[in-house]
Amino acid sequence: MRWVVALGLCAALNAASFHLRPASSPLSQGLVADNAVESAGLLSLGMRRLAADLGFIRLLIYYGTPQPGAEEEEQVTQAVSSAYPELAARALRILDVDPTFTYATLYASGALAFNLNRPDEALRVLQVALSRDAHNVQYQAYVAAIGLHRRGDKAGVIRILEPILGESDCPAMIKNMMAYLYAQCGQQEKAAALYRLIQDTSKDPRYRRVAEEALKRL
């Protein structure tokens, strides 16, 4: 009898808990073979964010490793458009594990759209991100900016992305691209200010180096 009461109480508590937070959703996609054991291990310990962090570090290493025939500097500014074929898939995996990891989505979609010139893949990543977080202003701005970038509307891209430059999770890559666009559109002061910001705040030495050289040119 005691057991029945105890198990009944547990069930009632869990039912109340589920009722209070119905939003909690499971993984909708399967685990990918190359890191399935690690991801499953971390998820079973309740460490989705850490699993996403490790996925992001892998993405950075992947995107930071020069493709055959490419110079390191190209990595930062512009690479061959067919390079890094797995970038979108890796970004989607991270998004699947931790839908709140905005930076990873912005970083990957920015690289795809503005560095690798693969806007369709970038938009696919952003669509998935927006399906999880429809009100994210940064995602919305990126979608609009990619559309304008496709049409070659540099001023439009600046107008759309300028408000999100101040966000704490705006990647240095986007700041770098914006500074480049400012310079191209004749807004040298804004470009210099942004390059200085990258130099002062970015933790990525490659972007700091690019900013330093751009400032010399300006």
Say whether residue 6 binds other proteins (CB under 8 A): yes
CB 150, min distance to other proteins, A: 26
Shorter beta-carbon distance to other proteins: residue 123 or 207: 207
Which of the residues 107 through 166 are near other proteins (CB under 8 A)? Answer: none
Indicate the SS3 state at residue 131: helix
37: amino acid identity, one letter:
V
Shorter beta-carbon distance to other proteins: residue 151 or 203: 203
Tally the C-alpha atoms within 13 A of residue 69's C-alpha that lie toward its C-beta.
6
Which range in 2-10, 71-79, 82-90, 143-151 contacts other proteins by CB under 8 A?
Answer: 2-10
Which of the residues 73 through 102 are near other proteins (CB under 8 A)? Answer: 98, 100
Question: How far is residue 83 from each of residues 74, 115, 122, 192, measured CA to CA in Å?
Answer: 11, 10, 14, 30
Question: How far is residue 196 from each of residues 63, 172, 179, 212, measured CA to CA in Å?
Answer: 24, 12, 10, 8
Query: Which residue in 32, 38, 78, 103 binds other proteins (CB under 8 A)?
Result: 103
Which range in 8-16, 120-128, 155-163, 181-189 contacts other proteins by CB under 8 A?
Answer: 8-16
Cα–Cα distance for residue pair 54/143, rounded to 1 Å: 26
Neighbours of 160 (CB within 10 A): 20
Cα–Cα distance for residue pair 123/113, rounded to 1 Å: 8
Which of the residues 10 through 49 are near other proteins (CB under 8 A)? Answer: 10-11, 13-18, 20-21, 23-27, 43-49
Give the length of the chain: 218
Shorter beta-carbon distance to other proteins: residue 118 or 175: 175
Q: Which two tokens stand for residue 49?
A: 């964010």
CB 45, min distance to other proteins, A: 7
CB 194, min distance to other proteins, A: 15
Asked whether 93 and 59 are in contact (CB, 8 A), the reply is no
Asked whether 179 and 195 are in contact (CB, 8 A), the reply is yes
Query: Which residue in 88, 95, 108, 172 binds other proteins (CB under 8 A)?
Result: 172
Interface residues with other proteins (CB under 8 A)? 2-3, 6-7, 9-11, 13-18, 20-21, 23-27, 43-50, 53, 56-57, 60-61, 98, 100, 103-104, 171-172, 202-204
